[in-house]
Amino acid sequence: MDADTYEAAAGAYDLFAMSHRPAQEAALERLLPRLRPEAGPILDIGAGSGANTAALLERVPDAHVLALEPSRAMRALALSRIAGRPEWHERVTVLPDDFFSASLPARIGGAILTGVIGHFDPGERAAVLAELAARLPAGGGALLDLQHPERPRRVEPAEFTAAAIGGLSYRGIAEAWPIDTELMRWRVTYLCLEGERVLTEDTAEYLYRHPAPATVAREAGELGLRLAPLGDGTHWILERE
């Protein structure tokens, strides 16, 4: 993927992600018993603005986090969040690498992959799962989301979040087209408005894969990972058997 795809979203990423955040936090809470911080760092793959990295540092006091974030704009958000918490600085590393360029530790204590698995094609996805399977301890786990729709289809333009800060509002509008049995093309417009007057407008287009849960479960199963649903229709735990 082109890392700059995320420059538009990074303008106010946490505001645009606000509607997903409660479900993501609840899912992260369910991952905590599967983390093994004594085995190695927790990987946050495609850490974005660092919300999950920060939650881990807050909730798991003995964890070290290795956050991978190739987008300069998104990484800046994560680093700003971390900068304000000097007590975290020894426990977190933010690598400016994508998954396949990063030098990964031999063992990890868990992993988080939210909003990112669809950026990998099937061959890359198998390789990511294999790298996790090789590094997770028995009983350890990773959090994964499989974003809607479950099968590629046309998604008509829809507002996906709205926040008001002071006198301004922030809105995102997303639409998508199916490309094949797994791949979709998304167009997302990020707006900042004063009333109906548009102050900033940024549009990003990107390709994202929507593999069926059964497909990922089979791919993971071949590597000794079990894909267990968390029941919200979006989040799953990958467990190392």
Ligand X SMILES: C[S@@+](CC[C@H](N)C(=O)[O-])C[C@H]1O[C@@H](n2cnc3c(N)ncnc32)[C@H](O)[C@@H]1O
Query: Given the rule CB under 6 A, which residues bind ligand X?
Result: 1, 3, 6, 17, 45-48, 51-52, 68-71, 74, 98-99, 114-116, 119
Cβ proximity to ligand X: between 194 and 232 the closer is: 232
Cβ proximity to ligand X: between 39 and 104 the closer is: 104
**Cis omega (within 30 of 0) on the bond before 149?**
yes
Asked if 106 contacts 43 with a C-beta cutoff of 8 angstroms, the reply is: no
Cβ proximity to ligand X: between 122 and 221 the closer is: 122
Closest contact distance (angstroms) between CB of 113 and ligand X is: 8
Give residue 234's Cα distance to chain centre. 12
Cβ proximity to ligand X: between 16 and 198 the closer is: 16
Indicate the burial class of 33 (C-beta count within 10 angstroms; 0-12, 13-18, 19 or more). exposed
Closest contact distance (angstroms) between CB of 120 and ligand X is: 7
Closest contact distance (angstroms) between CB of 105 and ligand X is: 16
Cβ proximity to ligand X: between 68 and 184 the closer is: 68
Indicate the burial class of 22 (C-beta count within 10 angstroms; 0-12, 13-18, 19 or more). exposed
Closest contact distance (angstroms) between CB of 102 and ligand X is: 8
Number of helices and strands in the chain (H, E): 7, 11
Count of other CB atoms within 10 angstroms of residue 159: 12
CA 184 → CA 68, 206, 209, 219, distances in Å?
A: 24, 8, 6, 20
Closest contact distance (angstroms) between CB of 226 and ligand X is: 22
Closest contact distance (angstroms) between CB of 3 and ligand X is: 5
Cβ proximity to ligand X: between 47 and 227 the closer is: 47
Asked if 41 contacts 67 with a C-beta cutoff of 8 angstroms, the reply is: no
